[in-house]
Amino acid sequence: MKIKFRNIITISAAGIFLFSVLNCASNKPDSGRTLIWNDEFNGKGLPDSLKWNYDTGGSGFGNEEAQFYTKNRLENARMEKGNLIIEARKENWEGSKYTSARLLTKGKFSFQYGTIEVRAKLPKGRGTWPAIWMMSENMKKWPDDGELDIMEHVGFNQGYIHASVHTKKYNHIQGTQKTDTLFVKDASEKFHVYKADWTPEKIDVYIDNQKFFTYLNKEKNNEAWPFDRPYFILLNLAIGGFWGGKEGIDDTVFPQKYYIDYVRVYKNK
């Protein structure tokens, strides 16, 4: 078949135009939501003190964890090459055998309903226990005031990502927590986006836009749904503990780094 050269140019131009239109459309911001808070970690040195506080100490934090959480220590929490790095190290520190960091926005930022997205690459190794989670800004009693775990990963079960809620009625102490998992084979080799959509009716949790956990506000009471109040964000890397250390701690894996590319919170229409 013969095709005139002029027609080839016309067809090519039309194809380029269509590709450009589709590309522009795909890059349009989502008009259904508004960015209300974020940290892109583009600085250098310690995390932004206007956005993050620290939990400190080696008390085990109710989970029999083995690390000591430090404050304002570059070895354990720093911005570097566009990422927040939370690093767990094997070193003696005030009676603990490991150091790490636990950052939180309590007292600096909290929100009620919306979408939170965290792009992260997880540490690897038996005994590591990184998390992305949220708790009530005015926490008076756990678990009555609620907890949302967007991402938890225990190193002895590599690649299995857990999402859970804890309330007075449903929590891990009673063995009644609401939870589910998704296997991500390269969770420690590549960055993935961990997301939660939170409305008055339900909480949906996703990895790279694949939904794998939903918690519905079915019972319409505080014992089952304490999620009608502002919550703050936590990022931490625990070592050991009743769950993370269930199969022991492999001291040969340290230091381990938990990379967070960004945290973004959106208000949805």
Tell me which residues are annotated as active site: 147, 152
C-alpha dihedral (267, 163, 195, 167), degrees to nearest 10: 10
CA-wise closest residue to 77 among 46, 106, 52 = 46
Torsion angle defined by CA atoms of residues 136, 75, 79 and 43, in that order, rounded to the nearest 10 degrees = 120
Q: Let me know: does 76 contact 101? Beta carbons within 8 Å.
A: yes
96-100/67-69 β-pairing: parallel
DSSP-assigned beta bridge partners for residue 248? none
- Within 10 angstroms of residue 50's Cβ, the number of other Cβ atoms is 8
Long-range pairs for 74-79: beta carbons < 8 A, 24 or more residues apart: 74/45, 74/46, 75/99, 76/100, 76/101, 77/46, 77/47, 77/101, 77/103, 78/44, 78/45, 78/46, 78/47, 79/41, 79/42, 79/43, 79/44, 79/45, 79/46, 79/47, 79/48
Q: Strand pairing partners for 193?
A: 119
* Type of residue at 91: E
- Asked if residues 102 and 88 have their Cβ atoms less than 8 Å apart, the reply is no
Nearest Cα to Cα of residue 84 among 264, 235, 266: 235
